[in-house]
């Protein structure tokens, strides 16, 4: 259910592209530094967005550097990092670990169980670092799993649960903007959950997998526009100081790219 919060690179300026990639590269380096080189396989642009947003709301010092890495050994690349980058790297590994366990539970894929085992030690470190946060995230995922196993057909119920999960992930530290950030992230999480259900609906029906939209007569596009409208209204309450155009490219355009791509494929579901 991740991989949706990305930029529409076709609408970014050259400077914005460089800034975006530098954020992504910084997150990749933080993963390697904190959790080992293997953890870089879990890297997502969703967590890069988390870094961008939290950094834009913070006065934290940011280190901008250039360097080579395993993925780009020939030409130095620019990257930037701060304390939010480290936090996002931890959340990235935490969510990847839970994803591997979920895949094992759902499909009994031995590969997923093996992948979870590879990250169990790093997962334990993260739980020790953020015990209360990890307890909330675990509880949300357990609740969501139960909702989906029950076959719940009111899409608001699992979507709101996923929204609470996102709300917790987006809270780095408590301050005067905590509740505004939580409300925004919860709205974004609800949008992501429903978008994922929209994209997967036809395949889920064919394979007899759970999807909360199977009994819905609502138009997906209309519902998604309403959900994103709520999300962007909540975004307006955040005092975004840096990378505003880049962040808004992601929110107003980038989050729609996978949905639009799915609609153009012969297998896509149209409502």
CATH number, residue 205: 1.10.600.10
Q: How far is CA 189 from the centre of its chain?
A: 8
> Per-residue pLDDT tens for 203-228?
999 999 999 999 988 889 999 999 99
Please report whether residue 53 resides in a domain: yes
Q: Are 228 and 261 in contact (CB under 8 A)?
A: no
Place of tokens 């998604």: 224
Please report whether residue 58 resides in a domain: yes
Please report whether residue 237 resides in a domain: yes
Please report whether residue 271 resides in a domain: no
> Per-residue pLDDT tens for 157-177?
999 999 999 999 999 998 889
- Total tally of structural domains belonging to the chain: 1
* Domain hosting residue 115, numbered range: 9-263
Please report whether residue 270 resides in a domain: no
- pTM score: 0.92
> Per-residue pLDDT tens for 51-84?
999 999 998 889 899 988 777 777 889 999 999 9
Please report whether residue 251 resides in a domain: yes
Please report whether residue 189 resides in a domain: yes
In order, the DSSP letters of 71-119 are: SS-SS-EEEEE-HHHHHHHHHHHHHHHHHHHHHHHHH--HHHHHHHHHH
pLDDT at residue 183, as a whole number: 98
Please report whether residue 234 resides in a domain: yes
């Amino acid at each position: 259910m991740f991989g949706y919060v990305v930029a529409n690179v076709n609408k970014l300026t050259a400077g914005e592209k460089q800034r975006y990639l530098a954020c992504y590269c910084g997150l990749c380096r933080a993963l390697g530094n904190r959790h080992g080189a293997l953890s870089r396989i879990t890297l997502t642009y969703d967590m890069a967005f988390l870094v961008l947003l939290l950094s834009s709301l913070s006065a934290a010092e940011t280190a901008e550097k250039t360097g080579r890495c395993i993925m780009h050994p020939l030409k130095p690349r620019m990257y930037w990092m701060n304390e939010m980058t480290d936090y996002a790297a931890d959340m990235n590994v935490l969510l990847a670990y839970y994803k591997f366990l979920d895949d094992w539970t759902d499909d009994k894929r031995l590969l997923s169980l093996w992948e979870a085992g590879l990250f169990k030690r790093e997962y334990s470190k993260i739980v020790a670092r953020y015990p209360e946060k990890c307890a909330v995230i675990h509880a949300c995922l357990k609740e969501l799993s139960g909702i989906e196993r029950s076959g719940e057909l009111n899409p608001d119920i699992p979507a709101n649960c996923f929204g609470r999960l996102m709300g917790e992930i987006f809270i780095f530290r408590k301050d005067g903007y905590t509740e505004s950030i939580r409300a925004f992230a919860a709205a974004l999480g609800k949008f992501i959950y429903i978008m994922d259900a929209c994209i997967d609906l036809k395949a889920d029906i064919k394979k007899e997998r759970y999807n909360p939209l199977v009994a819905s007569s609502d138009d997906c596009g209309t519902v998604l526009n309403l959900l994103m409208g709520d999300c962007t209204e909540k975004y307006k309450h955040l005092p975004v100081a840096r990378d505003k155009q880049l962040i808004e490219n992601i929110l107003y355009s980038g989050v729609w790219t996978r949905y639009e791509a799915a609609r153009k494929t012969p297998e896509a579901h149209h409502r």
